[in-house]
Amino acid sequence: MADTLVEVKHLKEYFNIATGAFTTKPLKAVDDVSFSIRRGETLGLVGESGCGKTTVGRTLLHLYKPTAGEIFFDGKKIESKKDIQEYRKKSAMVFQDPYSSLNPRMTVADIIAEPLDVHKMYANKKEREERVLELMSKVGLNSEHANRYAHEFSGGQRQRIGIARAMAMNPQFVVCDEPVSALDVSIQAQVINMFDELQDQMGLTYLFIAHDLLVVRHISDRIAVMYLGKMVELADAKEIYDHPLHPYTKCLMSAVPLPDPKAARENKRIVLSGDIPSPLNAPSGCPFRTRCPYASEECAASMPEFKEVQSGHYVACHRLNEIG
Partner 1 sequence: MALLEVNDLHTSFFTPVGEVKAVNGVSFNLDRGKVLGIVGESGSGKSVTAYSIMQILEKTGKIVSGSIKVDGQELVGISEKEMKNVRGNKISIIFQDPMTSLNPTYTIGHQLMEAILLHTNRNKQQAWDRAVEMLRLVNVNEPEKRMKQYPFEFSGGMRQRVMIAMALACEPDILIADEPTTALDVTIQAQILELMQSLQKELGMAIIMITHDLGVVAQMCDEVIVMYAGSICEQGTADEIFYNPKHEYTKGLMRSIPTIGNDGEKLHPISGTPIDLLNMPAGCPFAPRCDNAMKICLRQRAERLQINDFHQAACWMNVKEEMEKEGEPNG
Show the binding pattern over residues 275-294: x = contacts partner 1 (CB under 8 A), - = does not.
xx------------------
Span near partner 1 by CB under 8 A; candidates 17-25, 62-70, 121-129, 249-257? 249-257
Among 96, 188, 205, 249, interactor with partner 1 by CB under 8 A:
188
Least separation in angstroms between residue 258's CB and partner 1 is: 6
Could you say whether residue 301 binds partner 1 (CB under 8 A)? no
Q: Please list every residue from 157 through 186 that binds partner 1, using CB under 8 A.
A: 157, 184-186
Could you say whether residue 49 binds partner 1 (CB under 8 A)? yes
Least separation in angstroms between residue 237's CB and partner 1 is: 8
**Residue 59 or residue 157: which is nearer to partner 1 going by CB?**
157
Least separation in angstroms between residue 233's CB and partner 1 is: 15
Could you say whether residue 189 binds partner 1 (CB under 8 A)? yes
Given a contact cutoff of 8 angstroms between Cβ atoms, the answer to whether 129 and 106 are in contact is: no
Q: Please list every residue from 257 through 276 that binds partner 1, using CB under 8 A.
A: 257-264, 269, 271-273, 275-276
Could you say whether residue 255 binds partner 1 (CB under 8 A)? yes
Residue 38 to residue 41: CA distance in whole angstroms: 6
Catalog residues that contact partner 1 under the rule CB under 8 A: 48-49, 154, 156-157, 184-190, 192-193, 196, 211, 213-215, 217-218, 238, 241, 251-252, 254-264, 269, 271-273, 275-276
